[in-house]
Structure 1
Amino acid sequence: MTELSKRIVEAVLMSLGESFEQKFYDSEFRNCHGYLRIINYTPPKSVTQEEVEGLGMHTDMSCITIVYQDQIGGLQVRSKEGKWLDINPCEETLLVNIGDLMHAWSNGKLRSSEHRVVLKRLVNRFSLAFFWCFEDEKAIYAPNEVVGEGHLRAYKPFVCADYLKFREISSTNGEKKFEKVGFTVKDFAGTSTD
Structure 2
Amino acid sequence: MPKKAATQGSKKRRERRDWLLAGLMRFADGGEQNLRVERIAEDLGVTKGSYYYYFKNRDEFIEQMLEIALEITTQVFIDRASAEATARERLASLLLSVFQEQRGKDFDFYIRQFARKNRTAARFVASMDNNRIEFLRELIEGCGKTADFASSGAVFLYNYYLGFYIRNEGKRPGKAALHEQMRLIGKMLDIDLSGGQHT
Q: State the TM-score bracket (shorter-chain normalisation).
A: under 0.3
TM-score (norm 1): 0.25
Richer in helix (by share): 2
Considering only CA atoms, is the larger Rg found in Structure 1 or Structure 2? Answer: 2
TM-score (norm 2): 0.24
